[in-house]
Structure 1
Amino acid sequence: MTEVFPRAFLDALQANSDIPAFECGGRVVSRAGLLDLVARYAGGLHAAGLDHAGVAVATGVTPEGFAVRLAAHVLGCRVVVVNTGLPPAHAAHVLADSDVLIADESVPPELLAAARKVLPLGELPAAPMPLEPRGRPEDLAVVTYTSGSTGLPKGVEFTYAAMSAYWAWQPDGWTADTRRLAERYRRYLLFGTLASAVMVEHLAFCLLGGGTAVIPDALPMFPQVLEQLRVTAVLVTVPRLHAILDELREQEVDLTSLRSLLVAGSPLPPHRLVAAYDLIGDAVHHGYGQTETGMLCLLTAEEAAAYPEAAASVGRPWTGVELEVRDEQGNPVPAGTPGEIWVRTANAFRGYRGADEGEVLRDGWVRTRDLGQVDERGYVYLAGRARDVIIVNAILHYAGPIENALTTHPDVDEAYVVAAPDERTGEAAHAFVVAVPGRSPDLDALRLAVREKLGEAAVPSTITVVESVPVAASGKPDKRALLASLDR
């Protein structure tokens, strides 16, 4: 029987106690030092009567911020890790049912004001207590909130049972492929926010694989930070990858230490992935996952080199992931047939905080709401979001295929399509494209590219060439900002 989270993680830290867990400037925190922090914070939380309580944590990216989260899990708490940059309305929503907010000095006053009670992190340490996890499998362990790009953030609930089965936290379940990837995480760049589920997912993976999390002193400058800190593994969004590739075309940066650059979060055109292979090499990995499930698929450079068609995919299902493509009635379809992607993992979410799961969960399976297909070799190809649609003259068009058609043109580097109300057609598609450096796309040629691939009805009403695409707080392309620009 699997021990309750975070028992396996704590045991792994204890077994290699002298290895550095964190490196922050000139400061090094060993695994033993991290365990000491966890024990002291657990003692402080226990002394405050917070066993099995609802605990929110808002800190900078620090060893202490990670340690107090682990301490809360040791006591069986329901933990919400809060992004310190939340607007007031979102902060009030996220903190509504937490008993206390643990905060460090980086947290702004307006976030503190939204909490029911604030306990400063610096005042928490007490006598250390034994690290014997008290979580019950059926209890909520984590509520991870989405970015709120379509309204208020949505709370994604994970039980202690789910966290106990989570691939990144459980090395006993790692496959040979997982262990090979872990070898690349000797020095993992930890930046941004500890409220990022994917950032912490790979932090746990790094530490369990024997690596060290390297925290930059200030906001990192890419790609220079990779050279300066001798980074071997890093997670980046698609917009950040675009910026890195642009920089590498202009200057030389020593990336010989880099073993894994995992890009995820939004669709990546195949030509951009190939360009990344050319400029960065076999460190490039393309991942696909969701907040509700964790990482689902991974594509390595070696796979793409052996099977070039796979460059258009997001790889094959990852450790512990079952994946099916189903039709509108929920029936599995054969390889090569488009449909909606369904997945099943032992660590999937339980539901949405205070809301119906909206038919996303069904019989142990999660509907990703992503469209795609699987080829005969098991590679997964995404075609867009099931909800990212434009209804023109009562006919439904998906934004993803239109974006893909636009990026097939050699002058287009990035393409994004949004829907806007239209008096004549109900809705209309509007495209925004970023040109390949030094190129000037011909708009008629772009319309032709869409027409030939998808038909006349899918051709965008307008196509606008932009220098860059706005990026949301989540690090993903901000389609809401693009839509708003149509009104200017």
Structure 2
Amino acid sequence: MSFPDRVIQVLLTDQDRIAVEHGPRTVTRGELLAMIGKVAAGLRAAGLGPGSGVAMELGVSPESLAAYLAGYASGCRVLGVRPGLSRAQQRHLIDGGVEQVLTDEAVAKLLRGPAEPVDVRARPQDVARLIHTSGSTGRPKGCAQTYAAMSAHWSWGGAWGPATADLAARMDRYLLFGTLASAVVQDFAALCLLHGGTAVIPELGEGPLFPDVIERLRISASIMNVPRLYQMLTALSEKPVDTESLRALVVSGSPLAPHRLAETAERLGPVVFQSYGQTETGNLALLTPADIAAGVLDAVGRPQSGVEIDIRDGEIFARSPYQMTGYWRDPDQTAEVLVDGWVRTRDLGHFDDAGFLHLSGRTRDVIIVDALPVYAGPIEQVLASLPDVDQAYVVGTPDDRRGEAVHAFVVPRDGRVPDRAVLSAAVRDALGESSVPQTIEFVPEAPMAPSGKPDKRALLVLYPRP
């Protein structure tokens, strides 16, 4: 069954079953289906359909989930605008072939219209969604997935491998939070709905989300990046919380140290999955609770069903039926990453004799902050463009709170003393909050490597970061 027909068909059955829970409010499958029909009817009335570009500037709510599904049912090219982007980045996204922007207010207006049956109009060859990630120029790049790719997707598609089927079976009450602009958030919401579970949206503003939300809302499954996991482990050590309802905790976004993975499994039980993938590829490998129980702690799992991985000179190349077809309107970048149908991940790794994939580093000058890629080059360019700055060098270091932290080394111009607040504001305005350096160190010069190029890593030796 093609995408998104499978989701619609599930919602058509047992329509009194709770599909979404938002605070004290519950939304049944039938009610969610009715919302999808209303938004889709509004899109048709606006002349939007197969091949049309629709941007979603939405929070996390049942209505937002319905809007995304309506966009897919209408055959549109759907892109989510995630929070934290600068205005320039937002404009870049919206200017990329978008014919309508749906805000929470616009969706609410569409939901006041008449209910109509959902008419799935998606065409396999059309682009279903653009999932954006920051590129090496600091401008978001849209990874295009077709409706055909989504029909074969590891989560949305029907051919679940054993690891995915086991994970789906644990999705009775899936914690839906963050932003639906994230492919990961969308994909696990799909896994929940297709399993027959309930997507549980927490009411925010009640203090830290984790770990209390697991006990309070009886959560059975959640996704989490590594820094958030570290924060939760610290909180659990200070104040025990009942996590007995939790059956699946999927950790992704950056490498998880083996001793912390063992600590997590010991504290939470056989519920931990570790996921590896990229925006360009989707999920590539999954480490399961059974793997962890068997003592596999330093790998990211075995390849997902339908995924091929080839190690070329230490670099990971991947191919799957649900990978991107390319970067939207960026043939040059596409040609660099797509090589004869394979995605060049620019991650380094190897397989062991048991078929587990191990990561050993990255070929890219990228810093993973809160599970999102932040590129050093654009930050350096922004800083070096300011009047009081002669040179700027940016590096990343491990950080328990955010995965990695951004640090900048600045060589002042003509003996001036730049204002750190001005430097931070310039980066924030140009690239967004996640790119703002945690520290800015003023240095007289940058050491040189034997190649004659500035040695940024040597700066960390001369000026260690906290």
Q: Can you list the C-alpha shifts for 1:357-390, whole angstroms capped at 9, x where unaligned?
A: 1421122221111100001111010011111389
Q: 2:246 pairs with 258, 277, 293, which one? A: 258
* 2:42 is equivalent to residue 44 of structure 1: yes
Supply the distance in 1 between the matched residues of 2:264 and 2:130 (Cα, whole angstroms).
34
Question: Is 249-258 or 415-424 further displaced after alignment?
Answer: 415-424
In structure 2, do the counterparts of structure 1 residues 299 and 61 end up closer, same or farther at CA, with 3 Å as the change threshold? same
Kindly indicate whether the alpha-carbon contact (under 8 Å) linking 2:447 and 2:455 is maintained by their aligned counterparts in 1. no
Q: Name 1:208's counterpart in structure 2.
A: 194
Kindly indicate whether the alpha-carbon contact (under 8 Å) linking 1:418 and 1:429 is maintained by their aligned counterparts in 2. no
Q: Name 2:305's counterpart in structure 1.
A: 319
* 2:190 is equivalent to residue 190 of structure 1: no
Q: Name 2:100's counterpart in structure 1.
A: 100
The runs of 5 or more residues in structure 2 that have no matched partner are 368-394, 410-444
Supply the distance in 1 between the matched residues of 2:349 and 2:406 (Cα, whole angstroms).
18
Amino acid at match of 1:380: L
Supply the distance in 2 between the matched residues of 1:266 and 1:462 (Cα, whole angstroms).
27
SS in 2 for 1:464: coil
Q: Name 1:233's counterpart in structure 2.
A: 221
Q: Can you list the C-alpha shifts for 1:23-82, whole angstroms capped at 9, x where unaligned?
A: 001111111111111111111111121123211111110111111121122221111111
In structure 2, do the counterparts of structure 1 residues 158 and 461 end up closer, same or farther at CA, with 3 Å as the change threshold? same
Kindly indicate whether the alpha-carbon contact (under 8 Å) linking 2:34 and 2:117 is maintained by their aligned counterparts in 1. no
Kindly indicate whether the alpha-carbon contact (under 8 Å) linking 1:231 and 1:258 is maintained by their aligned counterparts in 2. yes
Question: Is 176-185 or 240-249 further displaced after alignment?
Answer: 176-185
Amino acid at match of 1:48: A
Kindly indicate whether the alpha-carbon contact (under 8 Å) linking 2:254 and 2:403 is maintained by their aligned counterparts in 1. no
Kindly indicate whether the alpha-carbon contact (under 8 Å) linking 2:446 and 2:456 is maintained by their aligned counterparts in 1. no
The runs of 5 or more residues in structure 1 that have no matched partner are 106-119, 328-338, 391-398, 408-412, 431-457, 467-488
In structure 2, do the counterparts of structure 1 residues 236 and 57 end up closer, same or farther at CA, with 3 Å as the change threshold? same
Q: Name 1:6's counterpart in structure 2.
A: 4
Instruction: Tell me by how many angstroms 1:150 deviates.
Output: 5.8
Kindly indicate whether the alpha-carbon contact (under 8 Å) linking 2:34 and 2:116 is maintained by their aligned counterparts in 1. no
Amino acid at match of 1:354: R
Matches within 5 A, 1:112-261: 120-125=106-111, 126-147=113-134, 151-170=138-157, 172-219=158-205, 220-261=208-249
Q: Name 1:424's counterpart in structure 2.
A: 448
Kindly indicate whether the alpha-carbon contact (under 8 Å) linking 2:221 and 2:247 is maintained by their aligned counterparts in 1. yes
Instruction: Tell me by how many angstroms 1:465 deviates.
Output: 5.6
In structure 2, do the counterparts of structure 1 residues 182 and 368 end up closer, same or farther at CA, with 3 Å as the change threshold? same
SS in 2 for 1:256: coil
SS in 1 for 2:297: helix
Q: Can you list the C-alpha shifts for 1:271-327, whole angstroms capped at 9, x where unaligned?
A: 111121222221111111111121111112321221x2x201101111321112112
Supply the distance in 2 between the matched residues of 1:132 and 1:21 (Cα, whole angstroms).
20
Supply the distance in 1 between the matched residues of 2:261 and 2:129 (Cα, whole angstroms).
33
Instruction: Tell me by how many angstroms 1:463 deviates.
Output: 6.6
Amino acid at match of 1:34: L
Kindly indicate whether the alpha-carbon contact (under 8 Å) linking 1:417 and 1:429 is maintained by their aligned counterparts in 2. no
Question: Is 72-81 or 198-207 further displaced after alignment?
Answer: 72-81
Instruction: Tell me by how many angstroms 1:148 deviates.
Output: 6.0
Question: Is 355-364 or 186-195 further displaced after alignment?
Answer: 355-364
In structure 2, do the counterparts of structure 1 residues 382 and 150 end up closer, same or farther at CA, with 3 Å as the change threshold? farther
Instruction: Tell me by how many angstroms 1:234 deviates.
Output: 0.7
SS in 2 for 1:16: coil
In structure 2, do the counterparts of structure 1 residues 128 and 416 end up closer, same or farther at CA, with 3 Å as the change threshold? closer
Kindly indicate whether the alpha-carbon contact (under 8 Å) linking 2:174 and 2:219 is maintained by their aligned counterparts in 1. yes
Supply the distance in 1 between the matched residues of 2:131 and 2:406 (Cα, whole angstroms).
28
Supply the distance in 2 between the matched residues of 1:11 and 1:293 (Cα, whole angstroms).
27
Q: 1:345 pairs with 320, 324, 345, which one? A: 320
Supply the distance in 2 between the matched residues of 1:203 and 1:43 (Cα, whole angstroms).
23
Kindly indicate whether the alpha-carbon contact (under 8 Å) linking 1:314 and 1:380 is maintained by their aligned counterparts in 2. yes
Kindly indicate whether the alpha-carbon contact (under 8 Å) linking 1:269 and 1:414 is maintained by their aligned counterparts in 2. no
Supply the distance in 2 between the matched residues of 1:136 and 1:275 (Cα, whole angstroms).
46
TM-score (norm: length of structure 2): 0.79
Q: Name 2:343's counterpart in structure 1.
A: 366
Kindly indicate whether the alpha-carbon contact (under 8 Å) linking 1:371 and 1:382 is maintained by their aligned counterparts in 2. yes
Q: Name 1:34's counterpart in structure 2.
A: 32
Kindly indicate whether the alpha-carbon contact (under 8 Å) linking 1:389 and 1:419 is maintained by their aligned counterparts in 2. no
Number of matched pairs: 393
Q: Name 1:481's counterpart in structure 2.
A: none
Kindly indicate whether the alpha-carbon contact (under 8 Å) linking 1:17 and 1:30 is maintained by their aligned counterparts in 2. yes
In structure 2, do the counterparts of structure 1 residues 141 and 389 end up closer, same or farther at CA, with 3 Å as the change threshold? closer
